[in-house]
Structure 1
Amino acid sequence: MKIFKKAGIILCCVLLAVMSLAGCGSTENSNNAKNKQQSAEKVENINISYVKAPLNVPSIVEKKKGLFEDEFSKDNIKVSFPEITEGSKMTEAVAAGSLDFCNAIGATSVILAAANGVNIKIIGMYSRAPKAFTIMSKDSSIKTVADLKGKKIVGPKGTILHQLLLEALKKDNMKVDDVQFINMGIPQGVSAMMSGSADAALVAGPAVPQAVDKGAHIITTGEGLVDATIVIAARGDFLDKHEDIAKRYMSVHQKSLDFMKNNPDEAYKLASEETKMSIDQVKEMYNLYDFNPKITDKDIQELEKTQDFLKDNGMLTKTVDIKALIHDIS
């Protein structure tokens, strides 16, 4: 009986050893498969939106000086810059997987996209420029926001400019129903204002000094009304897999800011060439911008305020957790 008992023990030990070896082989195979998958997911292309208006000097410097190419060519990563100027089109491209980074996108577009299920994250601030967003008119009798009552106002719906209009009306104890608001792009809106088919227009960027040169005037800017928050956003699933790339992206963005600080005249020149504004116009507008990429508590409050604006005006039914929308890669 003892012999059988010993034989049984030996047999169990052998089986355990075989199972242990098999387990090691399974783990090794799993690790190999994982490594192969990671290798297969090596980044070969990065798509970064390029928007130069209203006055996106960091983007202009990054593109004209080849800063992203310099960084990512080290790993044979090709960088493309699709010119997608509408926030909604950018988020559609993010949802389709054809855009990895939105280099400058309105907070309104990001919040709307996230609320509708698009996997998108804010990884930094691009700019704050309340004075660069305006309500304008060519009619000399329209001097204040109160003078807009009953007037036809044109501009892009669901944007910072639209938010500016509503905040300005609210400040003067007016509602959107007190004016005739028509959804229209900035260039078309300016044309309508200058031709007299609209009483006022929502205008930002180079179109502001150009309209002033043609006889229009500013009724109000966003100062004290909106922060005009523009953010840097990334495709969520890309960020999950390649946070290291996102960190390098933000490092390049900081290099462009450093270049602007150390070489202002060249930065003005590059911006002038891209926007078709004079150097003096660029300098004047440049002083209206805060390009600090750090996300502050005030920025978060402004993002929440923007979400409230969208909800209160029927453009948003489902809200998102603003803090969860922010991905800190520092």
Structure 2
Amino acid sequence: MSEHQNSNAHQRYTRYVEQVKKTNALRRRVLTGVLTLAALVAAGGQNIAHAQNSAAKGVLRIGYQKYGTLTVLKGNASLEKRLAPLGVEVKWIEFPAGPQLLEGLNVGSVDFGTTGEAPPIFAQAAGADLLYVGNEPAAPAGEAIVVPKGSALKSVADLKGKKIVLNKGSNVHYLLVKLLEKAGLAYKDVDVVFLAPADARAAFERGSVDAWAIWDPFLAAAEKQLGARVLADGKGAVSNHQFYLASRSYAQKHPAIISLILEEIGKTGDWSAKNIKATAAILSVQIGLEPSIVELSVGRFSYGVKPLSEAVIQEQQSIADSFADLKLIPKRISVRDAVWLPSGAKASVLK
């Protein structure tokens, strides 16, 4: 064999070896992929089961204020006992007032909470994706406009040109609107100052304002501790419903949990209505006020949670329309669009 032929044979052999190497490498990659896929398939059931178990666990974040049935529920810890078997932990987050609470719900730091009539209207108008999931009966005596004990003001009509402090977007915001209307005054006839309850009380004590629109138990504390005089409360002017609200996403994902919360609120409310002094004692510890003050406010609470009726929806819509007319909210809203319509709320997992 010539040198040239030897060279060609060597080249063919070299190419053959390289091709074998490539083929073997390809086979190894294919085999590895098949084995990996098989492992994934085999583990699939375990992974799905793990995901389901993880989904069953979680944290329910409840926004609360220093009053009402929800705070009693926090004190008796019955909700934690109901949710523990489901792997759900309850986290309580305190807020000074309803508007701040619903801002927490809007930004995703709260799943469930309670406020008065006005906060959900302001929140919905601002784009918060919330749902009304229940309400308590009317409690019109639980909010009022108060004046210092030495004030010369005798009626709401006397407030013309006066400075009134309140928490913007709270239930007493609407109270002021309706009481002024009832007295023949327009909203623009008074000077409204917006402050959260603690700062509002400080301004009231300093004499920086002429009147304070406030709700229980801050109202009861002002009466008992400061000698504040009620100029007018909500009777004959507003209902002062308490609403329970949830983020739309949470309610849609966990309707059974929402129903369970409402069940526990209902049980707690029934107990509270029959045990005023014991309720006051629980709240006294929770909110840091003397039992005598808390007992005054507890006597003005309403008890018993239920789904929103047509009458309550219409009443809430009237409040929203009033705020829109006064340009207090940026646009008109439909309250009905934010009313919870649970689907499958009685899930078997909670039975």
The bucket for the TM-score relative to the shorter chain is 0.7 to 0.9
Instruction: Say if 2:99 and 2:169, in contact at 8 Å, map to a contact too.
Output: no
Given the two structures, how large is their TM-score scaled by the length of structure 2?
Answer: 0.76
Alignment of 1:146-185 (within 5 A): 146-185=157-196
Within 1, Cα distance between the matches of 2:133 and 2:294? 27
Q: Deviations over 1:187-235 (max 9, x none)?
A: 3223323322211111222332333342321110011111122210111
Partner residue of 1:292? 304
Q: Partner of 1:128: helix, strand, or coil?
A: coil
- Note if 1:124 corresponds to 2:134: yes
Within 2, Cα distance between the matches of 1:169 and 1:187? 24
Distance 1:233 1:314, change over 3 A: same
Alignment of 1:6-155 (within 5 A): 41-53=55-67, 56=68, 58-102=69-113, 104-126=114-136, 128-138=138-148, 139-155=150-166
Partner amino acid, structure 2, of 1:310: F
Within 1, Cα distance between the matches of 2:117 and 2:222? 26
Distance 1:243 1:278, change over 3 A: same
Partner amino acid, structure 2, of 1:286: V
Q: Partner of 1:79: helix, strand, or coil?
A: strand
Partner amino acid, structure 2, of 1:255: K
Instruction: Say if 1:190 and 1:203, in contact at 8 Å, map to a contact too.
Output: no
Partner residue of 2:269? 257
Partner amino acid, structure 1, of 2:76: K
Q: Partner of 2:205: helix, strand, or coil?
A: helix
Residue 127 of structure 1: CA displacement?
Answer: 5.5
Within 1, Cα distance between the matches of 2:185 and 2:153? 16
Instruction: Say if 1:164 and 1:225, in contact at 8 Å, map to a contact too.
Output: yes
Partner residue of 1:313? 326
Partner residue of 1:5? none
Within 2, Cα distance between the matches of 1:251 and 1:65? 14
Distance 1:43 1:163, change over 3 A: same
Q: Partner of 1:305: helix, strand, or coil?
A: helix
Partner amino acid, structure 2, of 1:62: L
Partner residue of 2:207? 196
Partner amino acid, structure 2, of 1:313: L
Residue 321 of structure 1: CA displacement?
Answer: 2.3
Distance 1:117 1:263, change over 3 A: same
Within 2, Cα distance between the matches of 1:269 and 1:98? 30
Partner residue of 2:287? 275
Within 1, Cα distance between the matches of 2:285 and 2:166? 26
Q: Partner of 1:233: helix, strand, or coil?
A: strand
Residue 49 of structure 1: CA displacement?
Answer: 1.2
* RMSD (CA atoms): 2.6
Partner amino acid, structure 2, of 1:52: K
Within 2, Cα distance between the matches of 1:277 and 1:91? 25
Unpaired stretches in structure 2, ≥5 consecutive residues: 1-44, 346-351
Q: Percent identity?
A: 25
Within 2, Cα distance between the matches of 1:319 and 1:90? 22
Residue 37 of structure 1: CA displacement?
Answer: 6.7
Residue 126 of structure 1: CA displacement?
Answer: 4.0
Q: Structure with the greater relative contact order (CA < 8 A, sep ≥ 6): 1 or 2?
A: 1
Distance 1:65 1:317, change over 3 A: same
Within 1, Cα distance between the matches of 2:267 and 2:322? 34
Within 1, Cα distance between the matches of 2:80 and 2:234? 36
Unpaired stretches in structure 1, ≥5 consecutive residues: 1-31
Q: How many residues end up aligned between the 2 structures? A: 297
In the TM superposition, structure 1's runs of 4+ consecutive aligned residues that sit over 6 Å from their partners are 32-37
Within 2, Cα distance between the matches of 1:40 and 1:319? 41
Computing the radius of gyration from Cα coordinates, the structure with the larger value is 2
Q: Deviations over 1:4-57 (max 9, x none)?
A: xxxxxxxxxxxxxxxxxxxxxxxxxxxx8998876653342111112223xx1x
Distance 1:210 1:266, change over 3 A: closer
Distance 1:117 1:182, change over 3 A: closer
